[in-house]
Amino acid sequence: MSARVEEVRLNLPHIELAARLYGPEDGHSVIALHGWLDNAASFARLAPRLPGLRIVALDFAGHGHSAHRPPGAGYAPWDNVQDVLQVADQLGWTRFSLLGHSMGAIVATLLAAALPERVERLALIDGLVPPTGEADGAVERLGDALKAQQALADKRKPVYEHVEQAVSARMRGTDTVSREAAELLAERGLMPVAGGYTWRSDARLTLPSPMRLTRAHSHAFIHGLRCPTRLVVAEQGIIARHESLMTALPSMPLEVHRLPGGHHLHLDDDAGADAVAACFRAFLRGEA
């Protein structure tokens, strides 16, 4: 399924972000947020299956065609929350819905809970809250993060002689994806360098988090949601492997749909994209 796609750049006060636009200008306003080390192509299959929506699929800072954050800056989830809010302001969207996958779903949840007056509806794909950590591990975590930051200058991103090698590497990533999904992500995520191709993404994105929210923090954001919320749980995805979160889902203020497929079910194949679209099509138009 194909659809007209427009490429845009958004000049925020502190950074320039890239995005893909789908759908009619008068459609329901939706900002789509991809996962960690992915890019706006994450929604290449799903967006055309969601008619009646004006979808702005962002490249997060440090991903895809967006700028990297300046030296000394980091990539905490709340930094992305602020970026999304400024994108909405630049677009003139006082109220809008959020469609998020994985890390993008986490960012969407944080924003929707923190500023409920801005977010109309929340559509989440196999993501909800960031990984948590408790106080007894905080000291060691910060130390490990500081050491990793100091060692970053000596690391080099992989260079692939051929695009196909990069596609194969992406297929074998932390969460495996189909070949077609890897090709879509690589098309937007690679850049030519001496000797072949490497990923555009900022190397700092792979650094460990210096601090994590506690489980109590995360649950506070979930229970702070005031907008209608639907969560797609992939049966072979990340949330399904998180036993304590799966146990807690029935008590949370959201509607859960379990679908077959892996973490990238909305991008892996047409069947997965169709199934996710069926969950969100009427919902994001405010019809369900």
Tens-digit pLDDT profile for residues 112-162: 999 999 999 999 999 999 999 999 999 999 999 999 999 998 888 999 999
- Residue 189 is encoded by which pair of tokens? 């995520």
Q: What is the DSSP letter of 69?
A: P
* 165, pLDDT greater than 70: yes
Mean residue pLDDT of the chain comes to 96
Q: What is the pLDDT of residue 4?
A: 84
The C-alpha R_g of the chain, in whole angstroms, comes to: 18
pLDDT at 166: 97
Query: Which pLDDT score, from 0 to 100, does residue 110 have?
Result: 98
The band of 46, judged by pLDDT with boundaries at 50, 70 and 90, is very high
Section 238-255 average pLDDT: 94
Six-digit token string for 146: 């500081």
Residue 154 has a pLDDT of: 84
CB 97 within 8 A of CB 121: yes
Confidence check: pLDDT of 163 > 90: yes
Amino acid identity at 222: I
- Taking alpha carbons only, the member of 268, 265, 284 closest to residue 51 is 284
Percent of the chain with pLDDT over 90: 94
DSSP line for 191-252:
EEETTEEEE-S-GGGGSPPS----HHHHHHHHHT--S-EEEEEEEESTGGG-HHHHHHGGGS
Q: Kindly state the tokens that stand for 13.
A: 């006060």
Each as own residue / partner, the long-range contacts of residues 156-159 (CB below 8 Å, 24 or more positions apart, any chain) are: 157/198, 157/199, 157/203, 158/198, 158/199, 159/193, 159/194, 159/195, 159/196, 159/197, 159/198
Q: What angle, rounded to 10 degrees, do the helices at 77-91 and 103-114 form?
A: 70
Q: Return the H-helix or E-strand segment holding 51.
A: none
Domains of the chain listed by start with CATH number: 5-133+213-284 (3.40.50.1820)
d(CA 268, CA 176): 10
Share of the chain above pLDDT 70, in %: 99
Evaluate whether 9 touches 18 at the Cβ level (below 8 Å): yes
- pLDDT of 17-43, one tens digit each? 999 999 999 999 999 999 999 999 999
- Is this structure's pTM higher than 0.85? yes
Tell me the pLDDT tens digit for each residue of 267-277: 999 999 999 99
Say whether pLDDT at 1 is over 80.
Answer: no
Continuous segment of H or E residues that includes residue 96: strand 96-101
Confidence of residue 16 (pLDDT cuts 50, 70, 90): very high
Asked whether residue 2 carries a pLDDT value surpassing 60, the answer given is no
- pLDDT for position 153: 85
CA angle 23, 282, 260 (to 5 degrees): 100
**Looking at the predicted structure, is the pLDDT value of residue 189 above 90?**
yes
Give the pLDDT confidence score for residue 288 in this predicted structure: 84
Residue 174 has a pLDDT of 77
Which active-site residues does the annotation give?
102
